[in-house]
Structures are given as structure tokens and as C-alpha cells.
Structure 1
Amino acid sequence: MKHHYRWFIGLLLFFTGALNYLDRAAMSVAAPLIKHDLGFNDAEMGVLFSAFFVGYCVFCFVGGWCADRFGPRRVFAIAAAVWSFFCGATALMSSFAQLLVVRVLFGIGEGPMGTTTNKSIANWFPRNEAGRAVGLTAIGQPLGAALAAPLVGLLAVNFSWRIAFVATGFLGLVWLVAWLVFFRDTPAQHPCVSEQERALIQCSRAQLRVVASPVADDANEIHGVWHYVLSTRVLAVAFAFFSFNYVLYFLLSWLPSYLTDFQHLDIRHMAVVGAIPWLGASIGLALGGVASDWLTKRTGNALRSRKGVIVVGLCGSAACVLMASRVATVTPAVALIAAAALLAFMTPQTCWVLIQEIVPGSRVGAAGGFVHLLANLAGILAPGLTGWLVQYGGGYRVAFCFAATLAAAGALGVIVLLRPFNASHKRSADGTVAM
């Protein structure tokens, strides 16, 4: 621990990702019971799933900007308090309108999570560990979704769906206490970080500086934030992230209902089977981060390596989702969905690392927040559109096909739009990576 405190910080970020996805998946796991209890149909549940992302998207950008200005410690503390409170408050709601408002406010609390995590990693980890750090800390997210199926499902069956929301909200408050005790905005502010570890982090970021444009870097920045966030390269990353998120929120919102309504599993069996795809997603997160770092080190070409991981992940996921739309029995369907989740989850950590590499460090929070905002528009689109397709537009098979098409389109967008600043894009003798 003496020289590796940054990995303890990574553990805290791992747990916050798990709690975020546990909390947001609680609604989808409990959806069959909520529909029965409150008399909602699939289209109405789709609107409730999407409402979360109305608040979430806006505060992806706001949270990133605040993390740059006020530091990730303060931003994450406020966000965790808000999302935990409104997750628990869901248990008190009894009408569609009440749930709609609470879901928006819950989304506002969770909005800063992704960008503030990325800002924390940018502050705490050497550049050459960024892919692994983002990938390994992000594993908590699908594990949280996997845990949601048995934890929320069994609590809801044995007690009530309302008790399940209170329990998950309380866990967020426990994490908040640990965050305030153990985290500081930078390694230099923390007494538990050794001089050797501080030097390692600082030296790495000084020597492996990525040039965001031919004329701007952290020391001599002449462009405002909108120059970076509206660049073609950043928008290409946002489109890839959007395509991944569509698949993610399609599964996160509707997989439990698909297993109960289409595959005819009961709640207890769904609670177990529904965890399997998220275990595959955990493997994909670790694999994508390690693979992109390894390829970058092997080839010396960061952009091409990370693009390759994104393209393979999105194309492979699209193929598996498309095949899942053609099967009618539960075993091959779950196997294909798990494979799709594994491949798709090679994408997000690579997108986060690309943001660190194509904009200056002082703009990572704001640029990451803007990318996350655009990407999470998929959270508004996917649940509501899927509910409409299931209810009126041809059922689950059409919904699966649409998700596959968007994943493939994201891969194509990366191939076409994410290009280097110059033809070489090689590591120069002084350690700078030209983009």
C-alpha cells in the first residue's frame, strides 16, 4: 500500500461504479412487480426508464465541469448523497407522475459519476496505466448490475420492491463516508501517498504528454473548452460511446422483462439468469482496458490501437445481438447476450482513455462530461423506444435488431471520423504521442 495507494483509490471508484449500476438497475429488476402493483404497461415503464437519463445527461456535463473547477472529492460527495436519497425515496412513490419526478432527480445525482471517475483517474494514475485503471475500476459497473438481479429480485420477492430501493439507497450513504475519509483530489494532498508514488504519477504525465492539437498543450493552452469538445475526434468518441450506451441501456432496462415476458422465467429464476450477461460484461471491461494498453505499448500507435479495440467490440456486439434476435429459447439467448455484453464492454474504458489523450488535462473533466452527455442521450432513447417497439412496433426481435444496427453504426463512425492529427501518430523520441 505504501507505494500503491492509487490502487486503493481505484477500489473506491470500483465500488461507486457497482453502487451506481446496482441502484439504477433496481427499477428494471423490480419492473415486473412494479407493473403489477401500480398497473403500468410496457410503454409507461419505458418512459420511467428514460426519465432517469433526462437528469443524468445534463449533469454528465455539469458534473465534469464542476470536477475541473471544484475537484472530484466534493463533486462525488454531493452526487452520492443526492442519488442515494432519491433511490431510497423511490420506495415512497405510488403514482406514475411521482415516480417520473423522482427518476429525473435520481438521474441528476448519478450524472457526475462517469466524468468525475475519469477526472479522478486522470489525477491519480500514470498515463501508461490509464487503460487498465479505467477498465478495472469500471468492472464494478456490470458487477453492480449483476448483483442487482439477485439482490433486488430476492428482496422484492421476499419483502417488497419498496424495501429493495431503501436497502440500495442506504449502501450509497455507506460508500459516501468512505469516500470522504480516504479520498483527496490529488496524490500531493494525501498523506498516505509516498514520495515515490507521487513522482511516478507526475513524471509519467509530464513525459507521456499527448498533444491535443498542433499548437496547444497543458502548459500553453490557447483554445477554449468548446474548441475541443466540438472537434471531430471528440464527437467520434461520443458517437461510439452513444452506440455502446444504447446496447447497455437496452439490456439494463429491458433484460429482466425480456426474460420474464418473452422467455417466461419467473422472478426467482430471472434473478439468477439475469446476472450472467453482466458477468460477461465485467470480463469485457478488464479485457478492453488491458488490450488497449498492450496494443499501444506494442505498436507505439495509441490512436490506432484504441480505435481497433472499439471497432472489434462494437462490431462483435452487433453480431451477437442480431443473432440473439433470432433465437427463441433461453439458453442460447442468454449465451449470445452475455457474449454481446462482453464485447460491447470493451468500448467504454477505451473511450474514456481516448478523451484523456486527445484533449489537454485541464479540459478532461469538461470534455469527458460533454462526451458523456451526448453518449447518454442513448439512455433517453433506448428504454423508451424499446418499450414502444415491444408494445407496438413488432416486439423484442425488432428491438434487438435496432440495437445491433446502432452498434455497427458506432464502429463505422469511429473508422471514418477518428483520425490522427498527422500521418505519423507515432511516439517521438521525447515521449510525446502525436495525435
Structure 2
Amino acid sequence: MRPDARSDGESVHPRRWRICALLFCATTINYFDRQLLGVLKPVLDHDIGWSEQDFGNVVFGFQAAYAIGLTSAGWLLDRVGARIGYAVSTLAWSVAIMAHALVSTAGGFMGARFALGLSEAGNYPAAVKTVAEYFPQRQRAFATGLFNAGSNLGAMIAPIFVVIVLARLSWRWAFVIAGVPGLIWLILWLRETGSGKRDSGSAAVAGRGAASRLLLFNRRALAYAVAKFLTDPVWWFYLFWLPDFLHKQHGLQINQFGPPLLTVYILADLGSIVGGWASSKLIDVGWSPNRSRKTTMLVCACLAAPAAIVPRVEGLWPAVLLISLAVAAHQAWSANALTMVSDMFPSRQAASVAGFGGTVGAVGGMIMALVVGRILQETGSFEIVFWGASVAYLAAFIAVQWLAPKFEISGLAKNVDN
């Protein structure tokens, strides 16, 4: 029997939580690798000599590749299964992050980031598909919140790691060493998901995938995609530009990033876990998945709004706490947005839908990278950017409610217009 066909009251086998722990570790490594460039930016500004627009173009290269990779990763995962697809993706991004050590120009970094974005794109479609296969609906948001918390841990580790490495070695070694954890994870993943260890073989079942035409004309798929398009760029902004904001707005040097970034990402971790737990708990007390997810998402949208005043706040720590609230709200939102996929689509199509939505979100991130780079180049102010970040979630919530009034399972092969 397939895991997603089992009753909602079924107890969860402990091995599923071991799988969830591996998803958490993979997401941690994924975000640790991509965050390194943002943390190293003050050093690279000096060594490479690039402009704000150059850096925006480098970020754009990552986002473009991420958009391409998400769609192809979702399609591939629904055919070969999460076990093999996740392994290939992790191996590729581990090699790609090491390749950053070999470049010395903005163009070279753009190429390295393109390779990293293309390969890292497999993480979320694979993780969402795995959760859909291993967890009953009432626990999926909590499981998603747990693995999604790895994104914050990876971002927390990055500045500490950079300070330690730069105290003894050059920035190039930071990229070389960063590739090692992914290779270790790969061995553990293949061992845990090996032959004879899957629930009735379901974790390796390759679905037919979802045709692009069906995705484009399915309102539920579009609801997820629009939510990603409007809110993913906010997360990318915080991820790539927060160290630069702290440096330029509050005068922090690279060896001073630790406490503020640690605070931001610890609270973001808490937001991810609490956001997933909250909607799962509401289901446990009798609320429908639709009502529980959307109520939680609306609260998150309201909590993200005060970010608008961050550039005008006097003092480092008031600004850090407001950013922390916004990032925690984003992660709580994200835990529920990711779970929308398994709420509305069967697991055999989960990776394709997740990849489609992620692609649209990455396109939003591409636009954000160019726009933010241009705004900072011409105005030197973060004010417009924070205003945009503050209203994105309310706009996304309205779009989700319009496109998907109810979260109900509906495969892509039928009811296309629903």
C-alpha cells in the first residue's frame, strides 16, 4: 500500500523521521553552500572589484539556472524517483560549489553560480515528493517545517564558517571545504533509502510526471506558482543581501556578522517549525487542511508587513529583530506553501508541481536580482526593496485564495480547469 493512501490516523514509522532528518541535513547543506557568496561579498568586493550591478548579475545567473533546474528536476524526479534524483542533484551541487574556488572574475562567478543553481534546484522537489510519499496529510506541514528549517541552519553556519576559514586560509578554501558535507550526505542517503528499506517500494516509485500544458492550465498549480513568484524573491533578497545591508547600513564588518545573522536565522528556524506545527495542530483539532493552512498563512502575511520600516529604524538590534520577525514569518509561510502541493496533488505528481512552482518563484528571484541591483546602484538605499518585501505575502495570500478556494486532492490528468 502506498504511504499517501493510508489513513490519516495511522502512526508514523520511526524510519520516516530518519528520512525527514536526512531531508533537513540536505536542505542545510544546500543553503549553506548558496549563502557563502553573500557572506563573502565584502571580501570579494575588494578582491574581484565588481560593482553592485555585477553582483546582481551573478545572483541573476544563479536564479536563471535555478529556474531551469526546478522544472527539469521535478520532471526527472517523478520518473526516476527521489532516491536517485536526490543523489544526482547533491553530487552535482557539491562539485559546483567547489568550482567557485577556480574563478577570479564576475563572469567566472556567474558561470559557477549557474552550475550551482542548476544542480541545487533538485532539493525542494525531491524533499516535497519524499514527504508526500512517507507522511500522512495531517503531519506533512510539520515534516515540511522541520526539513525547511535546514535552510536557516545553513544560513547560520555560513558566516561562522567563513570567519574560521578566513582566519587561516583564503576565501577559495571556503568553497572547496563547503563541497565535502554534500558528499558525506550522499553516502548516508543511499544507505538509508537502499533496496529493501522503503515502505513497499513506494519511495522509489517513478510517476508519470505532469505535462507542462496541464500545469499551466490548472488553477491549483497556478495558485502555488503565483505564491512562489511573489514570496520567493523576498527570501532570496534576505539571503543574498542581508550581510551587505548590515555592512552598509550599520557598519558591520565580516567578523561581526555572526550574532545578528545567528539571531535572524535561529528565529527563522523557529518560524519554520512553529508554522508547520501550527497548521498540523489545527488539523488535529478538527479544522480542514484548507482552513488550517490558509489561517496560518494569513497570520504569516501580517507578521511580515512591519519589515517596511527596517531601513528607517535607528540602531542595529531593533532592525535585526524586525528582520528576524519577517524571515520567521516567511519560513512559516513557506512550510505551509510547500505543503499545498501534497494537499492538492497526488504524490506521483508532487515533484512536477513543486518544480513548476519553484521555477516560477525562481523567475521572480531573477527579476528581483536585477531590480535590487539596479536600485542599489542608482539610489544606494534599501527602502524601496523592504517596502516590496513587506506587502508581497498579503498579495500572495489574495492570489492563492482566488485561484484555489479549497485545498483538495485533484490530479493534473483530470479536472484541469479546477
Q: TM over 0.5, yes or no?
A: yes
Which residue does 1:326 correspond to in 2? 312
Shift of 1:320: 2.4
Shift of 1:78: 1.0
Q: Does 1:267 find its partner at 2:234?
A: no
**Aligned with 1:190: secondary structure?**
coil
Amino acid paired to 1:154: I
Distance in 2 between the 1:350 and 1:299 partners? 17
Aligned partner of 1:361 in structure 2 is 347
- Mapping of residues 145-224 of structure 1, within 5 Å: 145-184=155-194, 189-191=195-197, 198=199
CA–CA distance in structure 1, aligned partners of residues 337 and 392 of structure 2: 17
Report the equivalent of 1:399: 385
Query: Normalising by the residue count of structure 2, what TM-score does the alignment of the two structures yield?
Result: 0.88
Shift in Å, 1:181 = 1.5
Q: Hey, what does 1:26 align to over in structure 2?
A: 36
- Structure 1 residue 76 and structure 2 residue 82: aligned? no
Q: Which residue of 2 aligns with 1:206?
A: none
Does structure 2 conserve the Cα–Cα contact (< 8 Å) formed by 1:241 and 1:347? no
Unaligned runs of 5+ in 2: 1-11, 410-417
- By how many angstroms is 1:5 displaced? 0.8
Aligned position for 1:336: 322
Cα deviation digits, residues 290-330 of structure 1 (max 9, x gap): 1111122324321122112122212311x221121321321
User: Aligned partners of 2:402, 2:299: CA distance in 1, in Å?
Assistant: 15
Letter in 1 for 2:220: R
Asked whether the 8 Å contact 1:155–1:164 carries over to 2, the reply is yes
Q: What is the RMSD of the two structures over their aligned residues, measured on CA atoms?
A: 2.3
TM-score relative to the length of structure 1? 0.85
C-alpha distance in structure 2 between counterparts of 1:37 and 1:224, whole Å? 46
| 2:252 counterpart SS class | coil
Tell me the equivalent position of 1:59.
69
User: Deviation of residue 397 (structure 1)?
Assistant: 1.5
Q: CA deviation at 1:157?
A: 4.7
**Deviation by residue 1:147-172 (Cα, 9 ceiling, x = unmatched):** 11211243235422111111111221
Could you tell me whether the CA contact under 8 Å between 1:249 and 1:378 is conserved in 2? no
Question: Deviation string for 1:238-274 (max 9, x for gaps)?
Answer: 2222332121111000001111111101111113322
Amino acid at match of 1:407: Y
Paired residues of 2:63 and 2:365 also in contact (CA < 8 A): yes
CA distance in 2, matches of 1:11, 1:65: 24
The answer on 1:36 being equivalent to 2:55 is no
* CA pair 132-165 structure 1, distance change in 2 beyond 3 A: same
Return 5+ residue gaps in structure 1 as ranges: 203-217, 427-434
**Do structure 1's residue 277 and structure 2's residue 264 form an aligned pair?**
yes
What displacement does 1:3 show?
Answer: 4.1
| 1:100 counterpart residue number | 110
Corresponding residue for 2:281? 294
Aligned residues: 394
Match of 2:373 among 387, 392, 397: 387
The whole-number CA distance in structure 2 between the counterparts of 1:361 and 1:21 is: 25
Q: Partners of 2:315 and 2:287 in 1: how far apart?
A: 45
Identity of aligned residues (%): 28
